[in-house]
């Protein structure tokens, strides 16, 4: 599943780059700005940001502060991972709820040039939140089943 999301993220980034290049070309070379390019870039950024969060969580590439965590023994590390995962899931549930509320409010307006409902742009928030929770749960299952080994490392040694 995450491989498909990674392909979607890559396509969104490529589209944003192409639209940005076209925007610069049209604005400064042809002297005819593209009005809809900002809207398309905004939508692409929203989607790749919120989908990318779930992908980064699953790949364990999110920024973390491990100084104190590295001081803990293996059982305590599992407990800390469980607690932090539950806290993150609670936060993402709030993101999903608020994002869905924002999406519903976005149904009342459209983008000026493309006439796309903001509902579709704001929908990236709750959908990204769902993928982030799924990634958190998958990572937690890896820890609980032993597929993700929690190592004992001396403090300050890094990964």
Give yes or no for residue 154 having a pLDDT over 80: no
Contact 81, 146 (CB under 8 A): no
Closest by CA to 134, choosing from 33, 21, 13, 4, is 4
Q: What is the mean pLDDT of residues 124-131?
A: 97
End-to-end, the C-alpha distance of the chain in Å comes to 27
Q: Give CA–CA dist 108/105, Å, rounded.
A: 6
The mean per-residue pLDDT over the stretch 108-134 comes to 96
- 32 pLDDT above the threshold of 70: yes
Q: Give the range among 40-49, 73-82, 107-116 with minimum mean pLDDT.
A: 73-82
**Which residues lie closer than 8 Å to 46 by C-beta, 6 or more apart?**
121, 122, 124, 125
């Amino acid at each position: 599943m995450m491989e498909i999301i990674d392909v979607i993220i890559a396509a969104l980034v490529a589209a944003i780059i192409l639209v940005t290049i076209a925007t610069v070309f049209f604005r400064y070379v042809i002297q005819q700005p593209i009005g809809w390019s900002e809207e398309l870039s905004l939508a692409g950024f929203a989607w790749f940001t919120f989908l990318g969060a779930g992908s980064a969580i699953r790949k364990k590439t999110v920024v973390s502060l491990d100084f104190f965590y590295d001081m803990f023994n293996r059982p305590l590390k599992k407990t800390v991972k469980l607690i932090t995962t539950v806290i993150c899931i609670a936060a993402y549930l709030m993101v999903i709820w608020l994002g869905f509320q924002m999406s519903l409010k976005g149904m009342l307006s459209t983008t000026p040039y493309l006439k796309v409902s903001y509902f579709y742009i704001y929908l990236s928030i709750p959908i990204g939140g769902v993928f982030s929770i799924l990634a958190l749960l998958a990572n937690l299952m890896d820890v609980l089943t032993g597929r993700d080994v929690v190592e004992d490392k001396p403090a300050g040694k890094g990964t």
